[in-house]
C-alpha cells in the first residue's frame, strides 16, 4: 500500500483493494481492519464486486489505481511483455477502468515498459545477417498498445518516467506513471525538487543516512547474508562494491559474472549513509543485488527497507521474512504516490475541469522527468573518488546554514 498511503497523504480516501498475495492481504488487514480487501486474482474478480466492496456505482469514483505485475516489462527480466500471462493483467486493469468509469486513473509500472516490444527478439538474433525487426518487435510497441487500449475506452493519457530520488525520497528508483482521465484534460508532472548537484531552487538529494542514521529497528526482521557472503562484504567499504576487493577475491567470489560487461554494480555492494539508497529490492541478501548495511556486515532489515520506501513507522508487515521483504521491495515509494495524487488533485481543482466530449484535442503524450540518475564511485589506481560529492556537500552545508 505504498502508493495508497501516498495518495491518502494527497487527500484521497482508499475504499477497497484487490490483492492476490495472501501475506500482503494480511498486512493490509492488520493495518487497515476497516478497509474492504478482496484477496483473489483480479482475473476472477468482477468490476461489480469491486464497486460493491467500495460502496460506489459507475462514474461515482474519482480515481482507480493499479500496478499490473512489472516482471514482464523489466529490463532485468526476460522481457516477454504482454505475451507473458502476467503481462495480460494489464487488460484486466483496462476492463476495470472501462466498467467503473472513474474520472482519473493511475497505472504505475517499471520504466522498462516504455521500451518493451510486443514480441521480443534476442540480441543474438538481431543485426547484420538477420531479418529486420517487424512492427511488433520494435522497441516501444507495447507502449503503443497500452495507449491505444486506454484511448479505445475513452481516456486520454499522460505518462511520466520519473525517479523517486528527484522528489525527496532517499532512494534511486525509476518508475513510470500513466495518468489517464475521461475529461479530456492534460496533466503534467512537477520538475525535480532535488538534484545532484542541486540546480537553482533545488535541494540536495536525501540520503540513506537521513532516514537510518541513529534509528534502531524496534522489531528487526532480517534475511541475512550467508557466512561466505559476509566474508567478502567485510572487505568492502561504505559506498563500495566488488571493485574494492583484491582481484583474486573478485574472481573467486563472482565466477563467470566477473567476465561480464555491465550490470554488476550491485555485486558485493555496501551502502553509504552519504548517498541515496539504490533501489530497494525483494531479495537484499543476493550477491548481485546486495543491500549491505553501511556499518554492519548484514542486510538492511525489513523495517529499514520500509523507512527508505517511506512507510510510516507504525506500519506492520505480516508473513515470512521473504514475504515481508517482497511486499516492501514491490511497493511504490510513498513519496511518489503522494506526488501522483497531487497531480490528479490539481487537475480536479482546475477551473477547466468540466466534462468535455472526448475529442482528443490534446493527444496522449509522455515525458521523461530526468528519470535516469547515477551516483558513482570512480576508481583511479588505489584511490576512490566520489562523483559530485564535493559540490553536493558544499551546497548541502550552505542550505543547512541558511
The catalytically annotated residue of 17, 25, 39, 70 is: 70
* pLDDT at position 309: 98
Could you tell me if 325 and 280 are in contact, meaning their C-beta atoms sit under 8 angstroms apart?
no
| Helices within 153-204 (DSSP H only) | none
Main-chain dihedrals φ then ψ at residue 382, nearest 5 degrees: -95, 5
* pLDDT at position 135: 80
Sequential pLDDT tens for the chain (402 residues): 999 999 999 999 999 999 999 999 999 999 999 999 999 999 999 999 999 999 999 999 999 999 887 555 545 555 455 554 445 788 899 999 999 999 999 999 988 888 888 777 777 788 888 888 888 778 888 888 889 999 999 999 999 999 999 999 999 999 999 999 998 888 999 999 999 888 889 999 999 999 999 999 999 999 999 999 999 999 999 999 999 999 999 999 999 999 987 778 899 999 999 999 999 999 999 999 999 999 999 999 999 999 999 999 999 999 999 999 999 999 999 999 999 999 999 999 876 655 444 445 567 899 999 998 876 554 444 455 555 444 444 444 444 454
Other Cβ atoms closer than 10 A to 334: 25
What does the buried/exposed string (b/e) look like for 154-187 if buried means 16 or more CB atoms within 10 Å of the residue's CB? bbbbbbbbbbbbbbbbbbbbbbbbbbbbbbbbbb
* pLDDT at position 264: 87
Q: Where are the domains of the chain?
A: 2-204+332-368, 223-300
Q: Which CATH superfamily is domain 2-204+332-368 in?
A: Vaccinia Virus protein VP39 (3.40.50.150)
* pLDDT at position 389: 43
305 is catalytic: no
Amino acid at each position: 500500500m505504498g502508493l495508497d498511503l501516498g495518495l491518502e497523504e494527497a487527500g484521497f480516501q482508499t475504499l477497497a483493494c484487490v490483492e492476490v498475495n495472501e501475506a500482503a492481504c494480511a498486512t493490509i488487514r492488520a493495518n487497515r481492519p476497516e478497509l474492504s480487501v478482496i484477496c483473489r486474482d483480479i482475473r476472477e474478480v468482477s468490476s461489480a464486486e469491486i464497486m460493491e466492496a467500495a460502496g460506489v456505482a459507475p462514474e461515482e469514483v474519482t480515481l482507480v489505481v493499479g500496478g499490473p505485475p512489472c516482471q514482464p516489462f523489466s529490463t532485468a527480466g526476460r522481457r516477454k511483455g504482454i505475451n507473458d500471462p502476467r503481462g495480460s493483467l494489464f487488460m484486466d486493469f483496462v476492463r476495470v477502468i472501462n466498467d467503473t468509469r472513474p474520472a482519473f486513473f493511475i497505472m504505475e509500472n517499471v520504466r522498462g515498459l516504455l521500451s518493451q516490444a510486443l514480441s521480443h527478439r534476442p540480441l543474438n538474433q538481431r543485426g547484420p545477417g538477420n531479418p529486420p525487426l517487424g512492427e511488433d518487435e520494435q522497441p516501444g510497441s507495447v507502449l503503443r498498445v497500452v495507449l491505444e487500449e486506454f484511448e479505445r475506452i475513452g481516456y486520454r493519457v499522460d505518462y511520466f518516467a520519473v525517479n523517486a530520488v528527484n522528489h525527496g525520497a532517499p532512494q534511486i528508483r525509476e518508475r513510470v506513471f500513466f495518468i489517464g482521465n475521461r475529461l479530456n484534460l492534460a496533466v503534467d508532472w512537477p520538475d525535480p525538487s532535488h538534484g545532484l548537484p542541486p540546480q537553482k531552487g533545488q535541494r540536495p538529494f536525501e540520503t540513506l543516512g537521513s532516514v537510518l542514521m541513529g534509528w534502531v529497528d524496534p522489531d528487526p526482521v532480517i534475511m541475512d547474508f550467508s557466512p561466505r557472503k559476509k566474508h567478502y562484504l567485510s572487505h568492502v567499504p561504505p559506498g563500495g562494491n566488488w571493485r574494492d576487493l583484491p582481484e583474486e577475491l573478485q574472481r573467486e567470489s563472482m565466477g563467470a559474472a566477473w567476465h561480464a560487461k555491465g550490470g554488476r554494480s550491485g555485486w558485493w555492494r555496501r551502502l553509504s549513509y552519504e548517498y541515496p539508497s539504490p533501489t530497494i529490492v525483494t531479495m537484499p541478501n543476493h550477491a548481485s543485488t546486495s543491500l549491505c548495511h553501511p556499518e554492519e556486515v548484514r542486510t538492511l532489515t525489513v523495517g529499514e527497507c520500509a523507512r527508505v520506501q517511506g512507510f510510516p513507522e507504525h506500519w506492520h508487515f505480516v508473513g515470512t521474512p521473504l514475504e515481508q521483504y517482497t511486499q516492501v521491495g514491490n511497493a511504490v515509494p510513498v513519496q511518489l504516490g503522494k506526488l501522483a495524487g497531487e497531480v490528479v488533485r490539481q487537475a480536479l481543482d482546475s477551473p477547466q475541469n468540466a466534462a468535455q466530449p472526448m475529442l482528443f484535442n490534446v493527444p496522449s503524450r509522455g515525458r521523461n522527468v530526468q528519470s535516469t540518475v547515477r551516483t558513482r564511485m570512480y576508481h583511479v589506481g588505489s584511490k576512490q573518488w566520489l562523483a559530485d560529492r564535493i559540490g553536493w556537500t558544499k551546497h548541502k552545508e550552505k542550505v543547512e546554514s541558511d
